[in-house]
Homo-oligomer: A and B are copies of this chain.
Amino acid sequence: MRYLYHLPLSPFSRKVRLVLSEKRLPYEPRLEKVWDRRPEYLDMNPAGTVPTLLEDNGLVIPDSNVICEYLEEAYPDTVLMGRTLAERVEVRRLCAWFDGKFAQEVTRNLLGEKFMKRLSGRGEPDAYAIRNGYTALRHHLQYIGWLAETRKWLAGANISLADFAAAGHLSALDFASDVDWTISPAVKDWYARMKSRPSFRGILSDRVPGVTPPAHYADLDF
């Protein structure tokens, strides 16, 4: 059996869950409370982050980016990273932008401050960081909106890992009622198309103790 160690609100875990489903690869999710720093888990992934994929042949693959590169090479029937060199550069560039800049300026400031700090016992949310997070989110939604207005999918004509990286972050933020979808109709339209994919069903049925998602979270016609 293939196992995915994950956390429901981790955008990196969500990206891998979406990719596994898009590639029709069955797996069993395992909740990993990274703040417990379980020795057996640190043996598999010394960085102590989620997700980590444990393949049925015993191969251990930590880090969402490493997992997605691996899945693309091991299961190439569903192409999610583009075919030409230029397409692959654009897919990877956007993934790096979402999982680097967007994650640091938005996701860490919002979900990190509001939930991860409490869950991991690292103190109280920092109101200044949260305000910075909302400001950055508004700003970045305009960039994503520009992508969604000028292309069919975020990286170009085909759906790609860039869409799933983006959906990982935005769906986790939406779960916490943090996304103002009125800022960009193009982003809202793109996200409605993402939500209606069968691969999204698991994400939309997530439950997290102590967090109630907004009514529109799982609504496909929001």
A residues in contact (CB < 8 Å) with B = 46-47, 59, 61-63, 65-66, 69-70, 73-74, 85-86, 88-89, 92-93, 96-97, 100-101, 143
Whether A143 pairs with B74 at a CB distance below 8 angstroms is no
Partner of A97, one of B47, B88, B93, B100: B47
What 7 additional pairs, Cβ within 8 angstroms, besides A65-B65, A70-B85?
A: A47-B100, A47-B101, A62-B93, A63-B92, A63-B97, A69-B88, A73-B88
Cβ-closest 7 pairs across A and B: A66-B92, A63-B96, A47-B101, A61-B89, A66-B93, A47-B97, A70-B89
B residues near A89, Cβ cutoff 8 Å: 59, 61, 66, 70
State how many angstroms separate the Cβ of A197 from the closest Cβ of chain B.
Answer: 25
**What would be 8 A-B contacts, judged by CB atoms less than 8 Å apart?**
A46-B97, A47-B96, A62-B93, A63-B100, A66-B89, A66-B93, A69-B88, A73-B85
CA distance A61 to B92 in the complex (A): 10
Whether B143 pairs with A46 at a CB distance below 8 angstroms is yes
CA distance A86 to B65 in the complex (A): 15
CA distance A70 to B96 in the complex (A): 13
Q: Residue on B with the closest CB to A53?
A: B89
State how many angstroms separate the Cβ of A218 from the closest Cβ of chain B.
Answer: 32
CA distance A85 to B101 in the complex (A): 28
CA distance A92 to B66 in the complex (A): 6
State how many angstroms separate the Cβ of A106 from the closest Cβ of chain B.
Answer: 13
State how many angstroms separate the Cβ of A86 from the closest Cβ of chain B.
Answer: 6
Partner of A59, one of B59, B69, B70, B85: B85
B residues near A88, Cβ cutoff 8 Å: 69-70, 73
B residues near A65, Cβ cutoff 8 Å: 65, 92, 96
